Amino acid sequence: MAASQQKVGRNFNWIWYVGAAVWFLNAALAMRHGNLRLGLTNAAISAAFLAAGLFFRRQSRRPTGRGNDR
């Protein structure tokens, strides 16, 4: 991966956290209005977005190790 592509990937990890927050807000609103099934589904999607954000954050901080380890 080129250095410019790696920098772009590192700068856009926040989008996963925004997605998790929006899905969590949607889950809270669904539960507030009495729709438990939709609220739990949205909470699960929010957790998936949060997990993806944490995964890609860890991936972007990991060194590539290609040719730089000598």
Number of domains in the chain: 1
Domain contains 33:
yes
Residue 55: give the domain boundaries. Answer: 3-61
Question: What are the pLDDT digits (tens) for 2-24?
Answer: 555 555 556 688 899 999 999 99
Question: What are the pLDDT digits (tens) for 30-70?
Answer: 999 999 999 999 999 999 999 999 998 888 777 766 655 55
Task: Output DSSP code: residue 15.
Answer: H
| pTM of the predicted model over 0.75 | no
Burial class (CB in 10 A: 0-12, 13-18, 19+), 52: middle
Domain contains 67:
no
Domain contains 68:
no
Domain contains 69:
no
- The dihedral through the CA atoms of 41, 46, 49, 51 has a sign that is negative
**How far is residue 3 from each of residues 8, 9, 18, 32, measured CA to CA in Å?**
9, 10, 25, 46
Domain contains 56:
yes
